Structure formats: structure tokens, C-alpha cells
Structure 1
Amino acid sequence: MIRIRRGLVLEIVARRPGICEVLVDVEGRQERAVCYEDLTGPVQPGDEVALNTTAVHKKLGTGGVHFVIANHSITATDAPEPGHIMKMRYAPCQVKVLAVEEEASPHAQVMRDCTSLSGTPVLIGGLHSMLGPAAAALHVLDPSLRVVYLMTDGGALPLAFSRLVHQLKEKGFVQATVTCGHAFGGDFEAINIYSGLLAAKVAAQADVIIAVMGPGVVGTGSTFGFTGLEQGQIVNAVHTLGGLPVAIPRISF
């Protein structure tokens, strides 16, 4: 079950689009926490918040931080944004997005008409950290390329958690982002890997797509208990849609 504790926001440590990193007083200690302000509303010093402290309590590495579940110091607000597709469905923190496939989307018609990647190259990695070198290499090869990052739901679900994506967009190495499956927070939202790939091509106007999960990966030491196996499934999806799949190898010695 979720380990929930009350905390007091002491300081704003960092803030970038969609996410705020804060210092909180929780259980008599000063510790860092992450707040997705698009979900909970803004936070400021002095706010009392509810924290999911499970990962820190379990001493996890990846994902081992506190997360703000709710801000008790702000008044109730509605969700005025368009869209009715839910991600993290049927969970307490399910979030509403405007998906490119739905009728209200300005991209609905072009998404209905598009059924092929038409040879668009797709670089496919098994770890989020592969995104940086891939985007940098493309930029060196041809700075005029429009590179779109497609984030799957194999790792972190909120795109805002990635400092790397923020830096790559600031540097101009990545021009747009698409989040698919239950991942959310991209410039474009898609329901699955197939529509996510097509959205990267026709909605985000990609010359090249990089498809990699968000930060974090699960490995168990068993043959198939590893989230990086999705790399093979994405290769198959790109091939099915008529794209050019390019697998980024993970090699260690």
C-alpha cells in the first residue's frame, strides 16, 4: 500500500515546466520531494502537503524520492483543459489529457488519414539515458533535422520528471515530444505506441523519431522481467507501420 505522510514545504529547490522540486519537513527530517504542479496545483513555502514516501522508505534508487500527492493549503480547483482521455486510468491520481486521436483534437483528421510512417527513421533505445547521445549525434549529423522524442510508459510516466528532455529542448536538440500509453506531459498525447509513432510523424512533423522510455527501468535478473524488452516491441511496431527501425544497442563489458 502507499505510505502517506504529511509534510511542510520549506523551500523551492528548482522549478521547470510541469514540475517543482521542493525541500520538505517530513517526520522530523528535511528531505526533497517532487511536485507535479499540473496535477496538484502550485506549491510554495509554508504549504502543507500529502506525500507518497514509499520509495524513500524502501530505500529505492531510481524513483527514490518523495512525491506530493495533494496540497492541503490551496482551495479546490476545476480542470478546465480540453480532452477526456484519462492516463493512469482508475488510479487515485488519474490525469485527463487531450489525445491526438480524439475528435476535439486539432490533429484528429490527419491522424485518421495517416496509416504509415513512410520510411521515417526511428531510433529505438532501451534506457532513457540513450536519448541524450542519440539526439546529440543527430544534431551533429544534420542540425536542420526536426527530432521528435516519443516517450513510452516503460519507465517514469510524467515526462516532466526528465531533466534530460528539458535540457535537450532548451539546446534545440529535440524539437517536440510525444507521450504514449500512460506516459503523459508531452507536447502531444497519444493512446498507444502505434498512434504515438504516427503522431510524431504527422502531428509533430518529425524528420527523425527517437523512441525511448522515460527515466527509470525495472530489472529482476529473470529472463523476461525487464522493462527494456519493450525495445523489441517498438522495433516491430515501426516495421509494421512502414518506418525504418534503428535499434540502439546496450553493450557493456
Structure 2
Amino acid sequence: LRPYRGKAATKCLRILGTVWQATFARVGEDWVFLAVLGIVMAIISFIMDYGIAMCNKARIWLYRDLASHSALQYLAWVSLPVCLILFSAGFVHILAPQAVGSGIPEMKTILRGVVLKEYLTFKTLIAKVIGLTATLGSGLPLGKEGPFVHIASIVATLLSKAVTSFKGIYENESRNSEMLAAACAVGVACSFAAPIGGVLFSIEVTSVYFAVRNYWRGFFAAVCGAMMFRLLAVWFNDE
């Protein structure tokens, strides 16, 4: 059966490749890439929000379940956030120390042409997502705007590498910079469902010089991300 499975898999890959190439040829590789980037970031944002909500519900449930013991209530209310913070700090430090902090200063540096190793890798993405979810789930008064700019930039880099290995269209460094600039807008749009604010933020973050053609790219990707985020919220009744 193995030869048949191999042939079937090869045939499926060829069909997917043909469809992918036809889509890129008709719509334009940049717009397809930006739409995929916005959708992926919206899904990541929604999953993270769900995990944060579950952590908060667990803390409230534990607090109410211990209503008859004031000392245990206080211990549960304090210990759970502390455990989540310690887990977040330890996990990020062990897996990818590059995920520490907001990531915006590093993104400014990268967009100005400086190469920072291990800042846009899959390992850093995992550390950033899990660490940020645990930190916000602990109840600390922190936001996800800065970290989400870093996460969106990592996702854009990974997608560009995947597309380049398949079609070879993002081998140019200038095009990678354009996609990273759009990723900054997507990060803000998926955090607050604000595509216009995302584009303005990408202009602020990237550099003094901002190419006019990147306005519409950033806005399109941000709109795709914001729309997908709201659709997921409606589908799962997360108003």
C-alpha cells in the first residue's frame, strides 16, 4: 500500500501546487500572501484570547469554590497568577530568550537592515505565543499590542520562507521588508480589530521613510485580519 500512498500524496501535492500557482497568477502573489497573513494572525489572536479567558475563569472558579475558607481564597487568588508568571518567564528563557519583551525595538532594528539572529524563527514564535498567553492569563495589567507586532512579523517571515521555497518570489530583501511592514499593521489590527490604526502604527514603527505602495498592502492585510477576528468572535459567541 505504501507505493499507492506515495503516488496519491504526490498527485495531491501537484494539484495543490497547480491551484496555488493559478491563484497567485490571477490575483497577485502579494495580495494572496497578505490575506493569508491576516487570516493566520486572526486565528492566533483568537486562540490566545480564548486561553487567556480560560485562565481568568479558572482563577475566579477557584476563588468562589473556596468561599468558606478566607485564607485559602487569598492563597489561591495569589498563587495562580504567580505560577503562571513563573511558568511564562521560565518557558521563554529556556526555549527562546529572544522572545523576551515587546519585540518592537527589535523590529525597528530589523526593518532598518540589521540582521538579528533567532528573532524571527518558529521557536521564538512558540515561546512568544505561550509566554504571552500565560502572562495575560495571570491577570497582569499588560497589553498584547507590542508582542503581537513581533508575532505577526515572525508569521510573515515564516510564510515568506515557505512561499519562497515553493515559488521563489520573496528572495528579494526589499519585498521581505515590505511584508514585515504590513505585518506590523496586522499585529495591531488583530489586537484591537482596528485596521486603520494598524496601518498608522506600522508607519510609526517602521521608519521615517514609508513607501506609498505599502499603505494599501498594510491596510488590506489589516482588514483581512480584523474581519477574520470578528467573524471568529461571532461564530463562537465571543462578543
Give the TM-score of the pair, scaled to structure 1: 0.24
Q: Which has the higher contact order (CA 8 A, sep 6+)?
A: 2
Structure showing the higher helix proportion among its residues: 2
Structure showing the higher strand proportion among its residues: 1
Give the TM-score of the pair, scaled to structure 2: 0.25
